[in-house]
Amino acid sequence: MRLTGPYTVAMKLWADAHTQAGKGPAWFRTDKPSAKEHETAADCKLDTGYVKAVHAVEVRAQKAAIDKTKKVLEDRQAAHERPITNARKVIAGAS
């Protein structure tokens, strides 16, 4: 019995279930979920806290990316602001 790779017990069970599902009722073989399935999935996501958990993971990843490139982002912002600041000085001096 293999525990890794494409011929594991889990893969065999999944493949068997997939094959068996194809022989099931017609509603099980549709490509589009029904309204009831959508509703059930939405309720499940809310009840389990899935949406909050995924949001927290995404926020953490975004903050990590910002922290990793903070110096570069600050340098770019300063480079964009420099011409504006210079233009304001020129305008203020001309009036």
Domain locations in the chain as residue ranges: 1-31, 32-94
> In this predicted structure, what is the pLDDT of residue 30?
64
In whole angstroms, give the CA distance from residue 76 to residue 29. 52
Global confidence as pTM: 0.44
Binning pLDDT at 50, 70 and 90, where does residue 76 land? very high
> In this predicted structure, what is the pLDDT of residue 17?
77
Binning pLDDT at 50, 70 and 90, where does residue 2 land? low
Spatial neighbors of 90 by CB under 8 A, at least 6 apart, are none
Mean pLDDT in residue range 42-49: 89
